[in-house]
Amino acid sequence: MELRQLEYFLACCDQGTFTAAARSLHVVQSAVSTGVAKLERELGVKLFDRTRTVLVLTDAGRAAVAPAREALRARDEVHDALAGLRGEIRGEVVLGALVNVATIDLAGAFEVVHRRHPGISIAMRQSPQGSAGNVRLLRNGSLDLTLTGGLVDDLSGITVHSLAAEPLVLVTHPDHPLALAGRFVAADLADERVIDYPPGWGTRTIIDREIPNRHSVIEVADQVFGIQLARSGFGVTAVPASVAAAESGAGLAHCVDRDLMWDIHVAHSESRSLTTAASAVLDIIREVCGPPGDVTA
């Protein structure tokens, strides 16, 4: 058994297909499918059920995920320790991403990482289930760090560091009565066509908690498209103020009877020690994107 085979296996778990796994690893698709097949022969078990569209983990595959991640983590720790002896900080850090991060200067943070620690590479992963999905990937070891936005229902075993906060605003057609008033209350949405976002997204969790009685007419996985729909008069949608500000021409209204604050955090698991590289990236993200004085540079 080779560590490369375990890497192929885990990439397939994370990406769902051989093609997507190969793309994420920058190798040809045949290398991944052949590597996984060889691993299955050596283990004497079937790790995936191959369907026409996706790879589905078998019971044996699910049992292999955690040990495989630990094996790769041990490999990384060996490289980390040897680099430390040479006075270097190097290695890959896998960071869970958000759809929109206009509130924070993430690009600036990455520039500082590159300047201070050119041996660190960052791989960004974005869960379709938003912040809640990112936290699940953090727990199972797929991510070293993750950004979260808004609310996450379960943060047990997770350490979070606050970076920034801003209100959610209601985006509408420019001539909508709520936009002309510039304000709304939760009860106003009972009679509106609401454009929602997928379960697990931080914005969706906030709206579910604060405005459960609303008329949802569509669910989209793109806040910019949601704004476009609202601007056209299709419905109304709640997004972070910075996201709304980047798209001109729509009407805006602020909630006056609910606390619709959208908080951005960077988080890591309490059950796993961060590598030196991950710890360096965490410190720089907090330094550049967090409140002044949050981390000593």
Residue 93 has pLDDT above 80, yes or no: yes
**Which pLDDT tens digit goes with each residue over 107-139?**
999 999 999 999 899 999 888 889 999 998 898
SS3 track for 221-237 = CCHHHHHHHHHHCCCEE
Q: Which of 200, 293, 207 is nearest to 255 (CA)?
A: 207
| Domains in the chain, CATH or no CATH each | 165-262 (3.40.190.290)
Q: Which residues are CB-neighbours of 87 under 8 A, at least 6 positions away?
A: none
Selected residue with higher pLDDT from 21 and 171: 171
Residue 72, CA atoms < 13 Å, CB-side half-sphere: 22
Interval 92-120 mean pLDDT: 92
**Whole-number Å distance between alpha carbons of 3 and 7:** 6
- Whether the CB-CB separation of 281 and 120 falls below 8 Å is answered with yes
Per-residue pLDDT band for 102 (boundaries 50, 70, 90) equals confident
**Whole-number Å distance between alpha carbons of 164 and 187:** 28
**Which pLDDT tens digit goes with each residue over 63-80?**
999 899 888 888 877 877
Three-class SS of residue 295? coil
The DSSP bridge partners found for residue 50 are 55
